[in-house]
Amino acid sequence: MPKVGMEPVRRKALVDAALRVIGDQGTLSVTMSEIARQAGVSAALAHHYFGSKEQLLIETIRSLLRQLRDDTVTALRAAASAQEKLSAVIRVSFQASQFAPDTIAAWLAFYSEAQRSEEVRRLLVVYARRLRSNLLASLKALCPDDDAERIAEGAAAMIDGLYIRQSLRSAPIGIEASIALTEDYVTSHIDRLKFQGTAA
């Protein structure tokens, strides 16, 4: 079977398998063998292409982040007004693929790993910044800058918090309810500023 040009195919298969296995087991303490098995190759091949487990894991996170970024960009393009963009950013965070139990479990495992691996931490900081800045951009069109900062901070925290609560799978808040809760937070604050603005 050895055809030439297998490298990108195998890399993708391994990264996808890694995400599956990590999500399934809810930990980064998964074996290279298991990942390789799921990808349909030997563990030795995984090492051949990635050099180390650490490297494979990092590529896996990168892949997850890339996916999220692409979805966000697409959603933002389709949105016209600031309100729509805001809604789009929130919506993407809770879209089915991101909010699936396995994906959440994987995110959680990555956050935990960030305590040890500087590179993983850096990647997650990129995610946090991106979320905050996407929210901020739209918010600044709707309220004063410093209020926008605070609201963006709060909304980002709420999104992450809904994730972590979802991971416990008790009193499961649905996708729509999560979106509603977050949008409610944002609009409620913007509204209040209007009232205060007219009152003052």
Partner DNA sequence: TTTTATTGATTGATGAGTCAATCAAAAATA
Partner DNA sequence: TATTTTTGATTGACTCATCAATCAATAAAA
* Minimum distance, C-beta of residue 169 to DNA, in the bound complex (Å): 24
Whole-angstrom distance, CA of residue 116 vs CA of residue 10: 28
Contact letters (x/-) for a copy of itself, 124-153, by CB under 8 A? xx--xx--x-----------------x--x
R_g over Cα of the chain:
20
**Chain centroid to CA 191:** 28
Among residue numbers 45 through 84, which ones bind DNA (CB under 7 A)?
45, 47-48, 51-54
The yes or no reply on residue 158 touching a copy of itself (CB under 8 A) is: yes
- What tokens were used for 198? 């007219």
Pick the closest to residue 94 from 162, 2, 23, 171 (CA basis): 162
Residue written as token pair 């399934």: 24
The DSSP symbol for 5 reads -
Kindly determine how many residues on this chain lie close enough to bind a copy of itself according to the rule CB under 8 A.
46
3 binds DNA (CB under 7 A): yes
Contact status: 161 vs a copy of itself (CB under 8 A): yes
Query: CB 90: neighbour CB atoms within 10 A?
Result: 25
Question: Could you say whether residue 176 binds DNA (CB under 7 A)?
Answer: no
In the complex, least distance from residue 57 CB atom to DNA, rounded to whole angstroms? 10
Closest separation between CB of residue 195 and a copy of itself, Å? 7
For residue 43, the minimal CB distance to DNA (Å) is 6
89: nearest Cα among 103, 161, 81: 81
**How buried is residue 125: exposed, middle or buried, by Cβ count under 10 Å (0-12/13-18/19+)?**
exposed
Residue 48, contacted partner among a copy of itself, DNA, none, CB below 5-8 A by kind: DNA
Q: Which does 61 bind (CB under 5 to 8 A by kind): a copy of itself, DNA, none?
A: none
